[in-house]
Amino acid sequence: MRQDIKKVLICEQELASKVKELGERISEDYKGKHLLLVSVLKGSIVFMADLMRAITIPLQVDFMSVSSYGTGVKTSGVVKILKDLDNPVEGLDLIIVEDILDSGMTLGYLREVLAQRGCRSIRIVTLLDKPERRQVDIIPDYCGFVVPDEFVVGYGLDYAEKYRNLPFVGVLKSEVYSTSGL
């Protein structure tokens, strides 16, 4: 797997430090509130696991899985919920946990859907942000790193379901995904 990585963008130590910082900020911001972290599967699972351990206040966790239909790496903007939350969110303060925010289409849709369910507040935390790819007016409330418009993998992010288990965020060599027609 490592031979497919062009360069390490964010090392393990940088990830750990940033997740700790985000956990401290969220802990402070949500003191006395009913916090629910909602992980958007599958990419955010590693980030979510580390983040929830860095948060020092009581919280609940839940998971959603969504699919954006389109061709190749392009999204059509049509989002389908494949796995919904297990419990009602009425009266809770939600933080949607995402691995990467690029077009914003999926997060925009999820935010709208969840807002209709009676939660008290909704914020977004993303490990990575690619603002130059944004197609929807959405800004994360908590952001780990702003990254260039390159194909990144590792720390939960994948290409063809591979590379999620790399302990760092790296840039995938273009020949890995260009040969598959993307």
Tell me the per-residue pLDDT of 84-94, one tens digit each, with 9 for 90 and over. Answer: 999 999 999 99
Number of Cβ within 10 Å of residue 126's Cβ equals 27
| Residue ranges making up the domain that contains 26 | 13-150
- Confidence band, pLDDT 50/70/90 cuts, at residue 133: confident
pLDDT at 72: 46
* CATH at residue 19: 3.40.50.2020
C-alpha 105/C-alpha 76 separation (Å) is 9
The tally of domains found in the chain comes to 1
Q: Are strands 169-172 and 152-153 parallel, antiparallel or unpaired?
A: antiparallel
5 within domain boundaries: no
**The pair of three-digit structure tokens given for residue 172, joined into one six-digit string:** 């995938």
pLDDT at 71: 45
Q: How many CA atoms lie within 13 A of 80 on its CB side?
A: 6
112 within domain boundaries: yes
Active site residue 84: no
76 within domain boundaries: yes
- Confidence band, pLDDT 50/70/90 cuts, at residue 75: low
**The pair of three-digit structure tokens given for residue 90, joined into one six-digit string:** 């009425």
59 within domain boundaries: yes
2 within domain boundaries: no
60 within domain boundaries: yes
Tell me the per-residue pLDDT of 1-45, one tens digit each, with 9 for 90 and over. Answer: 899 999 999 999 999 999 999 999 999 999 999 999 999 999 999
Q: Catalytic: which of 50, 99, 102, 129?
A: 102
Residue 92's identity, in one-letter code, is L
- 120 has a pLDDT exceeding 80: yes
pLDDT at 69: 54
Q: What is this structure's pTM?
A: 0.91
- Mean pLDDT over the full length of the chain: 92
C-alpha 130/C-alpha 148 separation (Å) is 6
8 within domain boundaries: no
